[in-house]
Structure 1
Amino acid sequence: MKIKPTNYILVILFMLVLGPLWAQQPTQTIRGTVRDVDSKAPLIGVNVVVKVPGPLTGGVTNEQGNFEIRNVPVGKYDIAVSYIGYQSKLIPNVIVTSGKEVVLSVEITESITELEGVVITSNEQTGEVLNEFSTVSSLSFSMEESSKYAGTFNDPSRMVTTTAGVIGGGGSDDVENEIIIRGNSPRGLLWRIEGVEVPSPNHFTDQGASSGSVSIISSNLMSTSDFFTSAFPAEYGNALSGVFDIKIRKGNSEKREYAFSLGLIGMDAAMEGPFKKGGGSSYLMNYRYSTLSVLNDMGIELVDDALPIFQDLSFKVNIPTQKLGTFSLFGIGGLSKETEVTKGRLSSGEDGDLLKETFTSDLGIVGLNHDVMLNDKTRLLSVLSFSANEVSFTRDVSISRSNTIRVNNEDFVDYSSRLSVALNHKFNAQHLFKGGFIYSYLNYDLLSQVYSNSERMLVDEVNNEGNTSVVQGYATWKYRLSGNFVLNSGLHFTQFMLNNQRSIEPRLNAKWFLDDKQSLSFGFGLHSRREGLATYLVEMSPQSDVPPVALNKDLDLSKALHYVLGYNYFFTDNLSFKAEAYYQDLYDVPVIDNSYYSVTNAKKGFTGFELVNKGTGTNYGVELTLQSFFDQNYYFNTNVSLFQSKYIGGDGVERNTLYNSNFVANVLGGYDFDLAKNRSLNLNVRAVYAGGQRYTPINEEESRRQGMAVYDLSRIYEEQLENYFRTDFQASYTLNYPKHTLTFKLEIQNITDRSNVREIVYSPVLQSVDVKRRGQILPIASVQVKF
């Protein structure tokens, strides 16, 4: 079903003519906390000024580091933070609405005084990471950004694909929210929430995968979070390609607030507030329910012959105490199910369901966080978490309406308990130390069965339950040699107790400010990652009368050496140019001996074959970014990445990886129109152009002869799908009433109606190669109210 362009115009005009009828401009409160960036100690007496027209508007932090500024008119303002002995900080374009208080968490850096007594200061720029031990291949994202970018579904996973060197969906699939970093498999990504490793927090995620279809975490909950694409700091382990370190914001501790949105793909409801006014404790809860049946009824199918249904619930409870620090309880949970039915003529001659595939993926994570200042320079952060993840898949083939054979049955259940303890100590303005350990206790109950034609029944590939553990430790040191040079060094240790494989990993990164406009950065690190537990425990019996043995129990960790060199230049405080060159050397990669197969090309699932650590790989490239941070009502980001991604399998031959698309370019931007004191119109656009994903060509003649797809294994990953292109548009119209904010949003994905190639398959019915495409114009309208 096609929706007429005139309908879009009518919707936009309808939103524009809606307007409030009052004369008084609504106001709101800006509150927050100011802390030392290194020690995290609250700072007393910090000046916080909101740059509004007219008389000076601001406040001063109290002994808890808190400030409050009341009766700020709605609008966008810069906020200046200054403190004697510390570098001044400017927080640009803070959006103030009537429906929700603005709660800020601000961290400022202590200045270094040289022998001559000169204090060197620098302005921190938007996009710098929260992690104080990173200087290269890293950036931060806020909740406001995730809701602003076009084409992201408010999904953090899709949001980071707008950055240089990152491709989503494999460069061919608009449904998957894969995060492919610098030509690496998406499985190489580490997910962390509130400081602890978690399974992939996505709906429809598979065993061993790091992606799915849409994130379980709503952008309503996400605080400013860090994303790393290479040479990450020493505290991060079990990652080869990148790290997404997500923080959940605290609920409002002074006022109860609510948000509700309704759109074509579902509903989203959030609530937050204090347990007791003035007590300091708060709660935050968000629930989403989504089904694509509405879009299907409109004739728009995101997934062929399938209907995905999902829902999720997330929360955080924050309880500060006077002497024992702050306790917080957090959790996320998601349920997702997809059933795909292929209809046709059965072997019995009847019409019916030829094939039925059912996939479910359920996830639950709960954690207890304790944050305490032992003194004004030492902080202890402890996290205890528990997660449960169940992934199941069945495939049923019908011979007749009354005779159905189950040919695949998988049920993977993982239970994980983790304890993470980190100690942060600031010796002085120049020296900062952080060290800690992470203990993961992993329980598993794994079942994978395939149908055996000879035995006429399902036989086990994996049928194992038990437990194992992983021990990690790290130490890292930050040295500010002067106000313009920073050096971070560290060491990470990992031991996988299932087979006692271990890895000792040095990390180093540095940043040199050449002057107040430009800087050089360097990063180096050795990183490792283990496979999903099912891969280690896949079993095979050498003879029918011999008990099965685990084929890959002694498999070593995959490893990668990362090298990064970067240059950053600020034309103005808000306009910057960034260039990074990188080289990655992968080794000890699991492969099938004497075969082209390597886990480097694996997206998800487990490998049911015997593997050896003979594989290698290389990724290298350059990334260029020109970015204007939000200023004067607009922003833009233009970036391009050129790269190569190669691997060597068990046969010793070097080939392209599946993800060697060679290039990706992004252009995104937006503009805010202040229509009146209480109304605004925001327009955003994003375009992505990328090389196609690699594939192995089909031998069409041999496929016709055998009646099934036969691939030309002499040309593994030599061919590419056609280049991928998509443009998304988003318009939002916001009205600030005295007690609530109303936002209408219209998002048009793939506005050019581009149909991208998803995959190339062999069709036994057509007896020829069939090019599968996906992509059509997709309008998504929604309305949100905050009060």
Structure 2
Amino acid sequence: MKQIGTIIFFLFFSFTAAFSQNLNQTVRGVITDQDSKQPIEGATVVIADSNPLKVILTRKDGSFRFDNMPIGRITIHVSNVGYEKLILPNIVVNSGKETVLNINMQEAVAQLDGIVLTFDKNKGQPLNDMTLVSGRSISPEQTNRYAGGFNDPSRILSNFAGVTSSQDGSNDIIVRGNSPKYIQWRLEGMQITNPNHFSDQSAVGGSISVLNNNLLATSDFYTGAFSAEYGDVLSGVYDVKLRQGNNEKFESIFGLGVLGTELTLEGPFKKGYKGSFLVNYRYSTVSLLSNLGLAGGIDGTLNFQDAAFKVVLPTKKAGQFSFFGIAGFSNFLFEDVSPALWQTPGRRFLPNKIGENYQKGSQLANLGMNHILTINKNSHIHTGLSFSLEGVDDDVFENFKVDTVTRNQLNFNGRLLRSTYRGEITYNNKLSSKLKLQVGSKYALLDYKFNQSMLTDSTNVRATLVNFNENISTIRNFINFRYRFNEKLTTVFGVQNMNVLLNNKHTIEPRLSLNWELSKTSVLSAGYGKHSTMESIHHYYSQIKLSDGSSIEPNKDLDLLKAHHFVLGYEKRFSKYMMIKLETYYQDLYNLPVANDEGNIFATINEGLDFQYLDLVNKGSGKNYGVELTVERFFNKNFYYLVNASVYNSTYKALDGIERNTRFNGNYLVNVLFGKDFPKLGKAQNKTISFNSRAFFGGGKKTIPLLRGADGNLAVDPASKRFYDYGKAYKNDIQDIYQLTMSLSYKINKPKATHEIFLNIENITNNRARLSEFYDPGEPGSVGYMKQGGVFPNLMYRVYF
């Protein structure tokens, strides 16, 4: 830690000593029509509260430019005849990097006495105007500002109502009690794999995201009742957007910190051409954390590296092409792993086993191309192609004592290589100022190579759990309409069609949402959607051994999981910077895969790393319902706060018909966030200190408890492998969770560079709530616990130049 601090200190003061004071920067951008994607000429762009007032009209290509803008925060007003007026508040202007904006304007339905409606971007509405309920936009500044984000876009989601994580250090995203494996990740509008290092075969888990905040644009997150363009998803959708690189000036960001060293480069291809590139690379060896005593007692090494890019290539007649991608490699070797530290796959209990070593390697890549072709002033076609690759290699070695020598043998072995090829085309047409049409089709070819085996408990014979090399194709079609009756009432309605060509399963899924502005300060919204998704592919090819020694694959005909989503919301604005939002929802899940055995409570919606390969039937059901309250004070006058609370319930039924909690039913969660900036410090007024904090309170995940007698003492039977009380499965959690996180940043603007030191301390009180329990004869009472992750500091230095 001392070495990192010395390096950061040296770099920081080497750069800051190099420049004299002249603290201005360029603010520029392009304004386009929301629907046609054509540039808007003659729009008025105003820097609010500037003296003298700075006003400019956009050029023919929709561009505008303000040179020599003082550093700090500005608010921009954008207006044009026939369009809703835009207010973009709190835009950060730093000396080390140009501020480049890409702004979309929505055509107004009606104008009253020459006054058009005002749309305030402060409210965080989704960028996708087809979403009217259960959605919000997340800006890069929020990702960077909110405490606990670690500059990681996936961790930022748990700050919002209805969303929580596993609290075990993973990047699981639990939305309204749903399993994290039913989250859909998207990059630049294209569906991708789970973008986290160290994920498992269900494409969940992982602890560090490949995504990097340095590359992000404002993105959308949806928690239910999705519009018709989103299919093959039950839980939530995170549509991550990458920003365009600077197309006029070469710029860089260098970062050095506990979690890694990174470099971001961006710039134009040639002078006068509007194309640009943006690329980032990061390398980390987190074994340093072990040396600092911050790895939770795990003995081993953990390494990762990743990269991301976006290239934008506009043409005069053939439309705009953009190419993008993210990729990552990671591996670890942990020695003497117990369930208190890391849950290993294929875990078995043997009386003479003294420990396990877990070796894991993972890789992922998502590459894509988008093309937007404008047909006329009202319509355009979007075409997308992508390739995704995900590989997971797992090896679990068991350690035994033979005489005085420790020996190990390979128990669990897994090799997964999944490649996905996707193509899609969407036609958008603004038929009138009131009616917008969107129709599209999406094709996916999924190629799987998967082999998994482990030793049996009794004979040490290697049993094959799954072994296949197969292709699966899906086709999704959708049609969507957005109709604005007037300036107060808007509806979106459409249909999604999902087709699985493996077993000819298909659905027709209607979607409907409504947004009604009751007054200038209050909005009522409602939505309904039928949704479906495929189960994790390994279940379709599970190999079940029969009594005669032969094996069958009984799950090839598994149907889609399905759900009805109902949402009702109300939003009230008390001032320009203060709002309250109440949303209630009900999700009726059905067709859930459960064990084809009334004595077995297994359901795939509860699946974690404890994989089970069983004969499944689509006869399970479930319910998720709850109420979410959000009170938000948007950033203004150098401070903000966000308070949200959720009370919810998540249950399911297996073949025995008994209603049980799902393992992800935390029942409640509360987030309290607060942040304050102290700008214009120092003689040159070029320094800013930012303080941010987050307090989280919530229920733990439901567990299957160990067997206990009437006296409460442990009653497990290791000889017959009887450890858990399935009669009490998921009735309770072990302990509620709380966590306090604080972050502090110090920023200095210089004429040619901006420097920032950032410190984030996760779980600053080191609260270690118990998450689950397991039998461990070496612990007091023979009970061991997996616990909440402890205190974790993340220190980073960045320079923008």
TM-score band w.r.t. shorter chain: over 0.9
Q: Look up the match of 1:528.
A: 532
1:509 is the counterpart of 2:513: yes
| CA distance, structure 1, for counterparts of residue 722 and residue 386 of structure 2 | 45
SS at 1:720's partner residue?
A: coil
Within the candidate set 548, 559, 566, 1:563 is matched to 566
The residue type paired with residue 615 of structure 1 is G
Within the candidate set 572, 575, 584, 1:572 is matched to 575
The question of whether the paired residues in 1 share the 8 Å contact of 2:143 and 2:149 is answered with yes
Q: Look up the match of 2:398.
A: 397
The question of whether the paired residues in 1 share the 8 Å contact of 2:21 and 2:750 is answered with no
1:489 is the counterpart of 2:493: yes
The sequence identity of aligned pairs, in percent, is: 36
Residue by residue over 1:11-35, the C-alpha shift from the partner in whole angstroms, topping out at 9 and shown as x without a partner, is 99x999x987987441111111111
| CA distance, structure 1, for counterparts of residue 790 and residue 466 of structure 2 | 40
Q: Look up the match of 1:318.
A: 312
| CA distance, structure 2, for counterparts of residue 475 and residue 385 of structure 1 | 22
The question of whether the paired residues in 1 share the 8 Å contact of 2:544 and 2:615 is answered with no
| CA distance, structure 1, for counterparts of residue 553 and residue 456 of structure 2 | 20
The question of whether the paired residues in 2 share the 8 Å contact of 1:532 and 1:606 is answered with no
Q: Look up the match of 2:82.
A: 85
Q: Look up the match of 1:384.
A: 385
The offset of 1:520, in angstroms, is 0.0
TM-score, normalised via structure 1 length: 0.94
| CA distance, structure 2, for counterparts of residue 224 and residue 110 of structure 1 | 21
Structure 1's 541 and 757: CA in aligned 2 closer, same or farther, altered over 3 A? closer
SS at 2:288's partner residue?
A: helix
Structure 1's 313 and 532: CA in aligned 2 closer, same or farther, altered over 3 A? same
The residue type paired with residue 355 of structure 1 is E
SS at 1:627's partner residue?
A: strand
SS at 2:623's partner residue?
A: strand
The offset of 1:557, in angstroms, is 0.5
Within the candidate set 639, 647, 655, 2:652 is matched to 647
The question of whether the paired residues in 2 share the 8 Å contact of 1:565 and 1:581 is answered with yes
Q: Look up the match of 1:662.
A: 667
Structure 1's 353 and 696: CA in aligned 2 closer, same or farther, altered over 3 A? closer
Q: Look up the match of 1:685.
A: 693
1:424 is the counterpart of 2:424: no
Q: Look up the match of 1:348.
A: none
SS at 1:603's partner residue?
A: coil
The offset of 1:660, in angstroms, is 1.2
The question of whether the paired residues in 1 share the 8 Å contact of 2:16 and 2:755 is answered with no
Q: Look up the match of 1:99.
A: 96
Q: Look up the match of 1:711.
A: 724
The question of whether the paired residues in 2 share the 8 Å contact of 1:708 and 1:764 is answered with no
| CA distance, structure 2, for counterparts of residue 53 and residue 471 of structure 1 | 53
Residue by residue over 1:78-106, the C-alpha shift from the partner in whole angstroms, topping out at 9 and shown as x without a partner, is 01111111111110000000111111111
The offset of 1:738, in angstroms, is 0.5
1:263 is the counterpart of 2:218: no
SS at 1:727's partner residue?
A: strand
Of 288-297 and 634-643, more deviation after overlay is shown by: 288-297
The residue type paired with residue 761 of structure 1 is F
Unaligned runs of 5+ in 1: 345-350
The question of whether the paired residues in 1 share the 8 Å contact of 2:701 and 2:771 is answered with no
Q: Look up the match of 1:191.
A: 185
Of 482-491 and 328-337, more deviation after overlay is shown by: 328-337
Residue by residue over 1:693-723, the C-alpha shift from the partner in whole angstroms, topping out at 9 and shown as x without a partner, is 1112111443156386611111111121211
The residue type paired with residue 715 of structure 2 is E
Within the candidate set 761, 768, 778, 1:765 is matched to 778
Residue by residue over 1:484-511, the C-alpha shift from the partner in whole angstroms, topping out at 9 and shown as x without a partner, is 1100001000011111111110001110
The residue type paired with residue 51 of structure 1 is A
The residue type paired with residue 757 of structure 2 is F
| CA distance, structure 2, for counterparts of residue 262 and residue 704 of structure 1 | 51
The offset of 1:259, in angstroms, is 0.3
The question of whether the paired residues in 1 share the 8 Å contact of 2:32 and 2:62 is answered with yes
Q: Look up the match of 1:776.
A: 790
Within the candidate set 527, 542, 545, 2:546 is matched to 542
The residue type paired with residue 662 of structure 2 is T
| CA distance, structure 1, for counterparts of residue 298 and residue 720 of structure 2 | 23
| CA distance, structure 1, for counterparts of residue 666 and residue 545 of structure 2 | 40
| CA distance, structure 2, for counterparts of residue 526 and residue 61 of structure 1 | 43
Of 116-125 and 84-93, more deviation after overlay is shown by: 116-125
Structure 1's 452 and 775: CA in aligned 2 closer, same or farther, altered over 3 A? closer
| CA distance, structure 2, for counterparts of residue 241 and residue 303 of structure 1 | 34
Unaligned runs of 5+ in 2: 339-351, 709-713
1:598 is the counterpart of 2:603: yes
SS at 1:714's partner residue?
A: helix
Q: Look up the match of 1:57.
A: 54
SS at 1:391's partner residue?
A: strand
The offset of 1:774, in angstroms, is 3.8
The question of whether the paired residues in 2 share the 8 Å contact of 1:199 and 1:210 is answered with no
Residue by residue over 1:294-327, the C-alpha shift from the partner in whole angstroms, topping out at 9 and shown as x without a partner, is 2211111246334322110111111000000111
| CA distance, structure 1, for counterparts of residue 31 and residue 46 of structure 2 | 13
1:518 is the counterpart of 2:522: yes
Within the candidate set 392, 396, 419, 1:415 is matched to 419
| CA distance, structure 2, for counterparts of residue 131 and residue 605 of structure 1 | 37
Structure 1's 147 and 358: CA in aligned 2 closer, same or farther, altered over 3 A? same
| CA distance, structure 2, for counterparts of residue 214 and residue 298 of structure 1 | 19
Of 266-275 and 759-768, more deviation after overlay is shown by: 759-768
| CA distance, structure 2, for counterparts of residue 50 and residue 605 of structure 1 | 56
The offset of 1:775, in angstroms, is 3.6
The question of whether the paired residues in 2 share the 8 Å contact of 1:570 and 1:576 is answered with yes
Q: Look up the match of 2:369.
A: 368
Of 512-521 and 677-686, more deviation after overlay is shown by: 677-686
TM-score, normalised via structure 2 length: 0.92
Structure 1's 725 and 453: CA in aligned 2 closer, same or farther, altered over 3 A? closer
Q: Look up the match of 1:356.
A: 357
The residue type paired with residue 633 of structure 1 is N
Structure 1's 388 and 602: CA in aligned 2 closer, same or farther, altered over 3 A? same
The residue type paired with residue 161 of structure 2 is A
Q: Look up the match of 2:105.
A: 108
The offset of 1:167, in angstroms, is 0.5
The residue type paired with residue 666 of structure 1 is N
The question of whether the paired residues in 2 share the 8 Å contact of 1:567 and 1:578 is answered with yes
Residue by residue over 1:400-448, the C-alpha shift from the partner in whole angstroms, topping out at 9 and shown as x without a partner, is 4585322111111111100011111101110001110100011111101
The offset of 1:119, in angstroms, is 5.3
Q: Look up the match of 1:584.
A: 587
| CA distance, structure 2, for counterparts of residue 403 and residue 21 of structure 1 | 59
Residue by residue over 1:454-473, the C-alpha shift from the partner in whole angstroms, topping out at 9 and shown as x without a partner, is 66442322111121200000
| CA distance, structure 2, for counterparts of residue 782 and residue 445 of structure 1 | 39
Q: Look up the match of 1:444.
A: 448
| CA distance, structure 1, for counterparts of residue 241 and residue 732 of structure 2 | 40
The question of whether the paired residues in 1 share the 8 Å contact of 2:391 and 2:415 is answered with yes
Structure 1's 606 and 427: CA in aligned 2 closer, same or farther, altered over 3 A? farther
The question of whether the paired residues in 1 share the 8 Å contact of 2:150 and 2:794 is answered with no
Q: Look up the match of 1:637.
A: 642
CA RMSD of aligned residues (A): 2.5
Of 603-612 and 720-729, more deviation after overlay is shown by: 603-612
Q: Look up the match of 2:799.
A: 785
The offset of 1:773, in angstroms, is 2.9
SS at 1:779's partner residue?
A: strand
Q: Look up the match of 1:128.
A: 125
| CA distance, structure 1, for counterparts of residue 20 and residue 295 of structure 2 | 46
| CA distance, structure 2, for counterparts of residue 321 and residue 774 of structure 1 | 52
Q: Look up the match of 1:178.
A: 172
The question of whether the paired residues in 2 share the 8 Å contact of 1:675 and 1:681 is answered with no
Residue by residue over 1:223-262, the C-alpha shift from the partner in whole angstroms, topping out at 9 and shown as x without a partner, is 1110000101110011101100111111111000000111
1:150 is the counterpart of 2:147: yes
SS at 2:485's partner residue?
A: strand
Residue by residue over 1:137-190, the C-alpha shift from the partner in whole angstroms, topping out at 9 and shown as x without a partner, is 10011111111111111111110110001001x2x32x1111100111111111
Residue by residue over 1:359-414, the C-alpha shift from the partner in whole angstroms, topping out at 9 and shown as x without a partner, is 22210111111111111111111111111111121111133458532211111111
Within the candidate set 751, 757, 771, 1:744 is matched to 757
The question of whether the paired residues in 1 share the 8 Å contact of 2:353 and 2:398 is answered with no
SS at 1:702's partner residue?
A: coil
Aligned residues: 769
Q: Where do 1:605-624 residues align within 5 Å?
A: 607-624=612-629
Q: Look up the match of 2:707.
A: 699
